[in-house]
Each structure stands twice: as structure tokens, then as C-alpha cells.
């Protein structure tokens, strides 16, 4: 097997998720493998993994709540059992999803978004077997999907963006001891990450997947791997360039990464590539101190960038292209119409702090 050292972050993540999915499939009815094999060409490994978790919940619900299946083990289910269920069973499942206990006894809850995702997984699962005539009817189509209410987009205002970055630069003055030492050690890195997220709108998963070689200071761009594996150059402005240069030439250069993490752009204090959770925790930590009434996450920084870019350019297609959105209502030709020169406008259109 090739050494992990030769794999990119995204290649290694694909391998890790594939192995994890295979383990999850062992905890599902044997016939479920056909569904996951069929959707492999048109879905990401992360989507398939989430579907597997969600569908496992469905079968556990049947064993816990339906007298017919109370004596079943999960491997005893067959496709015929899907055909025996009625719309009322699906409605009871949807009610169950609102609050239920996992196998480890942890209480789980689902809001509108969680309900919709799990019901979407079940609908796709049923649709495959119905389409291939393994079952004669699809009760999921006779049950209304949970209604989702629009929520206000939470984002930082322009003055809050400047406050956040100023805070990261100066909050060490109020710290002492070990907290001060940790702050000084991570300051350049944290400022580079926050500036990059706010100045380009890239996803947190795209951020942690960056290698040093993905940063091109000659053209002021970073090569990111989008959802689905497509690569794209996202251009950045002077503020992002300055923060990245300072970090790469400073604290990043001073670190000797652990084997397998030599190429990673952003490293943890353990000298490993930073993970999504670590970046999320860092963003929340600083944001709580500046905007305590707003629950700011890396995705909210992405929303902040997108909103600012649209206000500055008025070009919704440019925003969709730069953010890597795949909107079903927007055709590919709209994205293709945006050339490299127009995309470069995004780099300098949004100012994070006044010069």
C-alpha cells in the first residue's frame, strides 16, 4: 500500500471514510450493500457514510417499536420487509426521530434540518429498490417531508469583522502564563486562518486540506479541492496575502511537522494537520469574545464573505462560482461564463479592515 506520506489530505480522507463506510455496512442488513454500490458514482463518500448512519437508525427504530420486528437482529431484515411497511410506519419513524436513544444510550434529537436529511436518506433508499422492482410500493412517497422554515442568515457585520481580527492580534496583552504562551504560539496561524476564511469564503474542510504548495503568491491564489473532488483556484487580496506570508515565513517555518504532515499548511500544536473540529473550536473561541450574541462558526464566516462580495459586485453568478455552490436552479453554463479575470475581482472586492 502506498505510504500515507504520498497522499493528499483529500485522498487520505477518502480512504479513511471508505474504510469507515465498510464497517458501518456490516451493521446494516446485507441487501443494503446493493443500494450503496449503486449510488457510489453519483455521490460523495461523506454522503454515503451519512446515509448509512441514517438508515441504520431506521432499522433500529423498527426493532425497538414495531412488534413484528422486535425479535429481529438487523441482519435478518430482507427487501421484502420494506414492502410490508405502510405510510403510518414511516410517519411513526419521523415522530421517533425527534427524540430517540442511540445504542450507547445517548439521547439524540433532530430539528427540521436533521429530520429532512434522514427522511431524504430513507426516500433514496426506498426509491432504489422500488425502481429496480425489488418492492412493489414506496410508502415514503405517501408521507409529507418535514417542513423547513427559513432562518435568518447569521453573519458578521463589517465592523465586527475588523473587531474580530483586531482582537486576535491584540488579545494576548490580557493573558499570562500558559495561556499567553499558547496564544503567542498560535497567533500567526489563527490570524492567517481567520483572514483566509473571511477573505475567500472557502469551506473549513477546504481550508484544513490545504498544503503549502497550494498557495501561489505569484498569482495570489489558493488551489482548493471542492466537494466532489473538483479543484479550483480561489484568488485572495492583499490582507490574506500578508497574513499567509507572515504565518508561512514565521511560526509555520519554525515547526518540524510529524511524518505524514510535512506538506500541511495549517498545523496543530501537536505538529499535525489541523482538523475541521480544531478550526471550528478556534473560530468559536475568538468570536465569543467579540460577538457573544452571535453564534459564529467557520460557515458563518463563509456567509459573511458571500454577502459582502454580492454587495460589492452585485453579481450573484460570480458569488456562486467563487463559493463553489452547485445550485440546481443555476445551470452549468452560468458558472462557465465566469472567466479567470472576472473571478480575480473577488480577491480585491472585499476589504476586511481599512488600510
Rounded-to-integer distance, Cα 135 and Cα 126, Å: 9
Q: Report the C-alpha gap between 128 and 2 in whole angstroms.
A: 35
Could you tell me if 172 and 218 lie in one domain? Answer: yes
Domain assignment present for residue 355? The answer is no
Last residue of a domain, one of 142, 177, 211: 142
Q: Is there a domain that residue 111 lies in? A: yes
pLDDT tens sequence across 51-61: 999 999 999 99
Whether 148 is in a domain gets the answer no
pLDDT band of residue 347 (cuts 50, 70, 90) is: confident
pTM of the predicted model as reported, rounded to 2 decimal places: 0.81
**69 and 104 assigned to the same domain:** yes
Check whether residue 131 and residue 243 sit in a common domain: no
Quick check: is 92 in a domain? yes
134 and 169 in a common domain: no
Statement to judge: residues 259 and 330 lie in one domain: yes
Residue ranges making up the domain that contains 299: 158-349
Work out how many domains the chain is built from and give that number.
Answer: 2
Q: What is the pLDDT confidence band of residue 149, given thresholds at 50, 70 and 90?
A: confident
Asked if residue 338 belongs to a domain, the reply is: yes
Same domain, 136 and 210: no
Same domain, 70 and 103: yes
Residue 343 lies in a domain: yes
- In 3D space, the residue among 63, 62, 56 whose CA is nearest the CA of residue 23 turns out to be 56
| Mean model confidence pLDDT for the chain | 90
* Beta bridge partners of residue 267, listed in sequence order: 273
CA 230 vs. chain centroid, Å, equals 15
CATH code assigned at 277: 1.10.443.10
In a domain, 164, yes or no: yes
Mean pLDDT of 299-305: 92
Q: What is the DSSP letter of 1?
A: -
Pick from 103-112, 200-209, 333-342 the range whose average pLDDT is largest.
200-209
CA dihedral 29, 32, 33, 37 (to 10 degrees): -170
In this structure, the answer to whether residues 219 and 330 fall within a common structural domain is: yes
168 and 274: one domain? yes
The reply to whether 301 falls in a domain is yes
By three-state DSSP, how is residue 321 classified?
helix
Per-residue pLDDT tens over the stretch 215-271: 999 999 999 998 877 899 999 999 999 999 999 999 999 999 999 999 999 999 999
Collapsed DSSP state (helix, strand, coil) of residue 15: helix
Residue 187 and residue 336 in one domain: yes
From the list 248, 194, 186, the residue with the least C-alpha distance to 216 is: 248
Same structural domain for residues 138 and 258?
no
Quick one: 132 and 212 in the same domain?
no
Domain boundary among 118, 142, 166: 142
Identify the domain boundary among 116, 142, 168.
142
SS3 233: strand
Amino acid at each position: 500500500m502506498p505510504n500515507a506520506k504520498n497522499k493528499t489530505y483529500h485522498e487520505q480522507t477518502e480512504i479513511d471514510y471508505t474504510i469507515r463506510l465498510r464497517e458501518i455496512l456490516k451493521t446494516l442488513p446485507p441487501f443494503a450493500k446493493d443500494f450503496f454500490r449503486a449510488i457510489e458514482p453519483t455521490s460523495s463518500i461523506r454522503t454515503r457514510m451519512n446515509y448509512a448512519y441514517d438508515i441504520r437508525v431506521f432499522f433500529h427504530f423498527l426493532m425497538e417499536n414495531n412488534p413484528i420486528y422486535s425479535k429481529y437482529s438487523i441482519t435478518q431484515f430482507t427487501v421484502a420487509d420494506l414492502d410490508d411497511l405502510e405510510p403510518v410506519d414511516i410517519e411513526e419513524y419521523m415522530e421517533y426521530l425527534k427524540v430517540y436513544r442511540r445504542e450507547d444510550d445517548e439521547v439524540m434529537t433532530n430539528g427540521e434540518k436533521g429530520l429532512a436529511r434522514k427522511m431524504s436518506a430513507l426516500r433514496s433508499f426506498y426509491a432504489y429498490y422500488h425502481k429496480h422492482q425489488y418492492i412493489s410500493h414506496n410508502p415514503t412517497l405517501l408521507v409529507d417531508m418535514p417542513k423547513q422554515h427559513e432562518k435568518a442568515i447569521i453573519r458578521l457585520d463589517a465592523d465586527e469583522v475588523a473587531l474580530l481580527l483586531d482582537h486576535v492580534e491584540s488579545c494576548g496583552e490580557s493573558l499570562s502564563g500558559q495561556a499567553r504562551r499558547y496564544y503567542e504560539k498560535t497567533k500567526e496561524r489563527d490570524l492567517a486562518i481567520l483572514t483566509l476564511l473571511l477573505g475567500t469564503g472557502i469551506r473549513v474542510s477546504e481550508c484544513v486540506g490545504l498544503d503549502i504548495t497550494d498557495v501561489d503568491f505569484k498569482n495570489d491564489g489558493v488551489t482548493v479541492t471542492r466537494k466532489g473532488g473538483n479543484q479550483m483556484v480561489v484568488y485572495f487580496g492583499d490582507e490574506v496575502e500578508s497574513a499567509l506570508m507572515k504565518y508561512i515565513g514565521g511560526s509555520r517555518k519554525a515547526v518540524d511537522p510529524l511524518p505524514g504532515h510535512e506538506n500541511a499548511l495549517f498545523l496543530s500544536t501537536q505538529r499535525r494537520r489541523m482538523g475541521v473540529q480544531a478550526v471550528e473550536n478556534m473560530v468559536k473561541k475568538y468570536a465569543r469574545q467579540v460577538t457573544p450574541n452571535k453564534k459564529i462558526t467557520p460557515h458563518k464566516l463563509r456567509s459573511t464573505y458571500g454577502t459582502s462580495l454580492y454587495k460589492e459586485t452585485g453579481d450573484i453568478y460570480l458569488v456562486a462560482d467563487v463559493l463553489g455552490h452547485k445550485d440546481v436552479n443555476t445551470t452549468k453554463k452560468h458558472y462557465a461564463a465566469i472567466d479567470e479575470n472576472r473571478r480575480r475581482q473577488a480577491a480585491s472586492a472585499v476589504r476586511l479592515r481599512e488600510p
